[in-house]
Structure 1
């Protein structure tokens, strides 16, 4: 994978005129030159773009684009699920980076009809995150920086894989929302992090990517560890609700673990931070047996 990323950057940087990459919808996105005015349409994409070394080229972002600190200062063009089309057009972007599963399809179609260049992002694997960083870097003319960030991310993921590939499994419940109670299936990136750490997702076989579940299903599944985010980066109050269910193994052993949601729920290089924390937590669960 690293070799492929290196070849992509070398190819992109060798061209001083047109820059072309293939996005996550298998569409070829070509620019006459590296982008100078970029608008990002999800908080995660804002973070990816900064990681690719192209933060200085951002002219706007959607609400809740909060990392790094500079992202908070960008002009807003609405939320990820509804944006201000007139504001976008007025900013004269030479590149929009869209979230294919989360942005409103009808608004993206309108922007496409106006002739704006749109790159669609939807990483589902660790390699996809690295590749996204590199492709954004190629489009923005920051390929060398992007390659270094991507390779560092992949190296960290590989280190965790080697460390925990033979670890005894831990049955895990991943809570991504409180009301309604929601989790992830095994196709979700969060579940892939769980597997990386030697965890087994108790709801991995469900059909939906982020299914709603009921309390009784969690109690019946009896997870050994419960991992949750919250409404903020330092708000583990969701876990407090589980303490009254002392029949659950995770509660009996105090295996109730909080991970800041932006480090696990966004497909960015900071996923390595969330993955490292999750792996350490599951190792703690093993030690408490």
Structure 2
């Protein structure tokens, strides 16, 4: 074979090989803005996701990336498939050694819940970090869409986000002109804690035609005392509890028969995971909350 021809063939072969690699080499990174307003870029869709709060876990699954989750934290109990995944501690204290051994290529973190020091450590080890902290219903829908982009499941994420948006819009329309009901929402018992109107739960109360008696307090989750609740005298008391079926917080309010909410039996239990996690299940929790306030209206 002519030597010059052989060289030419090798060059052509090399060029063809490089052209074959070109799409992968030139593929644009996947970039999204997280809730800390940082641009997070991946060279390819995430394949091994560490979800470091129960709410983040629900959102990743809703976005269609559940099969890519390799690590969760305590209380990541929904959907049921999440319970079988390896746990790497709690949202406030991670087992970093165990987490890193699972080789995540993306960590979904809770900015106000996860340890800032441990988040920094993850980044030091080269793990891309996506901050997630939806502050309103639209933020939940957008979180689903962004997570779907990072996990290459846009069709699933788009459908889930639109279903959530549509459901919340329908509730807003249904209760737009509802007669107001004054409401106390109990987040915790000892110390006694509630929400203001900036909190996601406060927004849902307002959507349902409720008037949060502690709407104007400066902190999103303020501590109060029983005397403040008695002085506000709400027409309805809503509470979660230390579990999905634990209603004893409401029972304790029956010791105060002078309260309007007690007199009219407007003590309503809302499973905490439905309203205290910023996830698509907020739609279900919002429906329950709206129905509770509608019952209170009927009991006047």
Q: Which residue of 1 aligns with 2:282?
A: 271
Offset of residue 17 of structure 1: 4.8
Aligned residues: 275
Q: Which residue of 1 aligns with 2:240?
A: 229
Does residue 60 of the first structure (1) align with residue 71 of the second (2)?
Answer: yes
Q: Which residue of 1 aligns with 2:10?
A: none
- The 1-side partners of 2:115 and 2:181 are apart by 37
Q: Which residue of 2 aligns with 1:258?
A: 269
- Structure 2 counterpart of 1:190, from 189, 195, 201: 201
- Structure 2 counterpart of 1:199, from 187, 190, 210: 210
- Structure 2 counterpart of 1:242, from 240, 243, 253: 253
Matched position secondary structure for 1:171: strand
Q: Which residue of 2 aligns with 1:39?
A: 50
- Superposed, 1:205-220 pairs within 5 Å as 205-220=216-231
- The 1-side partners of 2:205 and 2:222 are apart by 17
Q: What is the RMSD of the two structures over their aligned residues, measured on CA atoms? A: 1.0
Q: Which ranges of structure 2 fall in alignment gaps of 5 or more residues?
A: 1-25
Matched position secondary structure for 1:275: helix
User: What is the CA deviation profile of residues 196-255 of structure 1, one whole-angstrom value per residue up to 9, with x for unaligned ones?
Assistant: 000011111111111111000000100000000011111111100001211000000000
- The 2-side partners of 1:68 and 1:166 are apart by 35
- The 1-side partners of 2:273 and 2:33 are apart by 26
User: What is the CA deviation profile of residues 27-71 of structure 1, one whole-angstrom value per residue up to 9, with x for unaligned ones?
Assistant: 011101110000011001001111111110000100110001111
User: What is the CA deviation profile of residues 55-89 of structure 1, one whole-angstrom value per residue up to 9, with x for unaligned ones?
Assistant: 10000100110001111111011100010111121
Please say which structure displays the higher CA radius of gyration. 2
**Pair 1:16–1:68, CA change in 2 (3 A):** farther
Q: Which ranges of structure 1 fall in alignment gaps of 5 or more residues?
A: 1-14
Offset of residue 91 of structure 1: 1.1
